[in-house]
Amino acid sequence: MTSPHPARVTLEINLDTLRSNHRHIAEAVAPAKVIAVLKANAYGLGMKPIAEALAQSDITAIAVAELAEGMEALGHGIPVLLLGTILPSEIEPVIAAGIHIPLQDLATAHLVSTTAKRLRKTAHCHIPLDTGMGRLGLGLDTATETIVAMSKLPAISLDGIYSHFPMAYKSASDFTLKQVEHFKRIVAECEAHGITFAWRHIANSDGINNFQEHISCDPFTHVRTGINLHGSFDTEGKRSLHLKSVITLRAKLVQVRTLPQGATIGYGATYTCPAPMRVGTVAVGYADGLPLALSNRGALSIHGRSCPILGRVCMDYTNVSLEQVPDAVAGDDVICLGDGAATVEDWAILKNTHPYEVLCAIGSRVQRLYK
């Protein structure tokens, strides 16, 4: 239920910028088509509004990680792909809904075929290849013979084949180039058996930025992107696409005080005022996605000025120096992320992680606002 009261912390999501980012990506990878990866509630930005906005921008398909996400992504007149795996209990509802199915092994393919035949439907299936990720998919040694066996099953249409890059953030990576060659070999072997795939894709956002010349031409027909749609990039590798961040994380200044010299701030008393100081308390904390790693290191923006974080970030509150903002008062807006303040990548570096985790960590009580 949505609260009738205004939230103290809001995440503004600019859908026009989202659509613009999609257009830039689509132009860069043409003639390949773009699949939007909207797993984990569109990386925490909200599946339904993000999917609707991208459908208006003629996105080719939506990819998700699990059945519940796939059901939520339906209703926009575009294909929904379930990447990775499918459980036996999920097969019937996936087929009934028309969601595209991953076939991770021959046993799963038999279950899908039997169920689709019983439902008098054709199951649209995609083959995940393990070209080096080591997580999911058919192994390279037996992939072709397994795919041939799958192709003979009734009520199954082998629409696609795909793989995933674990190291494409490293430019000119021989590991990544070898994955591309493995993929091409399996596709060629399948074609020799008369099996062709309308969907052939391996590139993620990193692959698009670092290996564009290899992944947007034959035999590849599609690319997948998630975080680039939001205007974020991996902290390593090239940023060949000119994209803008779609998000601004805002909070409220709730208290302004002058603390005396020697006063300590926060859990563990990790900051001591070297002199009398104007200190502000902001209603945002790690429960909202503010990384604990920003303690005594990061900054928030008030009146367009950078205000260093003092002490440890708490669950609900964070203290900042107001020495450079003498006119700040309780109720003022505070920019935590975006709009000229820190970027997602800045937080990822301070947290020693990657931008994906930063986005997914933005808390559930943060109100999402779309414009």
Catalytic residue list: 39, 267
The pLDDT of residue 1 is 44
The pLDDT of residue 4 is 60
Q: Quick check: 96 and 67 in contact, CB under 8 A?
A: no
The pLDDT of residue 227 is 92
Q: With a cut of 50, list the residues of the chain below it in pLDDT.
A: 1
The pLDDT of residue 239 is 80
Residue 352 CA neighbour count, 13 Å, CB half: 3
Summarize pLDDT for 36-45 with one digit per residue, the tens: 999 999 999 9
Q: Quick check: 230 and 43 in contact, CB under 8 A?
A: yes
Q: Quick check: 272 and 296 in contact, CB under 8 A?
A: no
Give me the residues paired with residue 249 across strands.
11, 337
The pLDDT of residue 237 is 67
Summarize pLDDT for 143-175 with one digit per residue, the tens: 999 999 999 999 999 999 999 998 888 777 899
Q: Please, what is the Cα angle at 250 between 244 and 252, to 5 degrees?
A: 165
Q: Which residues contact 118 (CB under 8 A, 6 or more apart)?
A: none
**In the chain, what are the domains?**
15-230 (3.20.20.10), 247-342 (2.40.37.10)
